[in-house]
Amino acid sequence: MIEQQLNKAPRHVVILAHPDPASFNGAIAELYCRVVRGLGHEAILRDLYEIGFDPVLKNHERPGKAGFSISDEVRQELEIISDADVYVLIYPIWFGMPPAMLKGYIDRVVGSGVTPAEIQHREAQGVFRGKRLLSIITSGAREIWLDEQGQIDALKDVMSRYLCHAFGIKYADHLQFGGVVEGFSADFIAQNLLDVENRARQVCKLIGDDQTRSTLEPAQ
């Protein structure tokens, strides 16, 4: 069993929510995947716009309701993203909030089958339970302006703290880039992408440490 754990490549699921594949968000996702693969990890990229994900929650998908059932496309998505060590959300801030596409993905996929009672009692058994979460966020406004508006703390409350509590996430972290507008310099891009590379390497090390600890823990 220990040998199987050591031989299993750590798995990263990268969820991109931006309609332009040539955007800065797209470059972040591509770089993150390339770095972790270069370190021997597995990276699964889910570009929600490219795959044509439907973010609209269906009535029969509402857990705890009569006639509840999981749609085929949601079941297939869960099969693709399950058993990851870390989930990475990459998205822009639009009007102070994540894109509706990402919110719909959380509603339909991340929260699939999770009832309000399970969230309140922290008993949710979804794909995020016991995993790591990294949110990489971009915005046109500078971080100092967002901080003055309380936007950064609000995003952390909703997209990290609440998701941690609701879905049993083990650890959540943020990486945020402000001032992402048309015409920004090559130096700006290079510096921010270097930050992404460094964070990807850091996450890989943390996952490796997690796996080492799990193999050393005595069996219960």
Q: What is the DSSP letter of 82?
A: T
In the sheet that holds 11-16, the strands lie side by side as 42-47, 11-16, 86-92, 132-138, 171-177
Average pLDDT of every residue of the chain: 85
Closest CA to 98 of 184, 15, 197: 15
Separation CA 213–CA 198 (nearest Å) = 23
What pLDDT, on a 0 to 100 scale, did the predictor assign at position 155?
A: 62
User: What does R_g of the chain's alpha carbons equal in angstroms?
Assistant: 18
Separation CA 6–CA 211 (nearest Å) = 7
Does residue 39 contact residue 105 with C-beta atoms inside 8 Å? no
Q: Which two tokens stand for residue 166?
A: 């609701």
Higher model confidence: residue 64 or residue 68? 68
Q: Structural domain tally of the chain? A: 1
Domain of 88 in residue numbering reads as 2-216
Mean pLDDT of 69-82: 96
Separation CA 89–CA 153 (nearest Å) = 17
Separation CA 54–CA 75 (nearest Å) = 13
CB neighbour class for 180 (10 Å; exposed up to 12, middle 13-18, buried from 19): buried
Mean pLDDT of 40-67: 94
Q: Percent of the chain, pLDDT > 90?
A: 52
How does pLDDT run across 134-163, given as a tens digit for each residue? 999 988 656 665 565 556 666 665 666 778
How does pLDDT run across 113-123, given as a tens digit for each residue? 888 888 887 77
Give the CATH number for residue 25: 3.40.50.360
pTM: 0.87
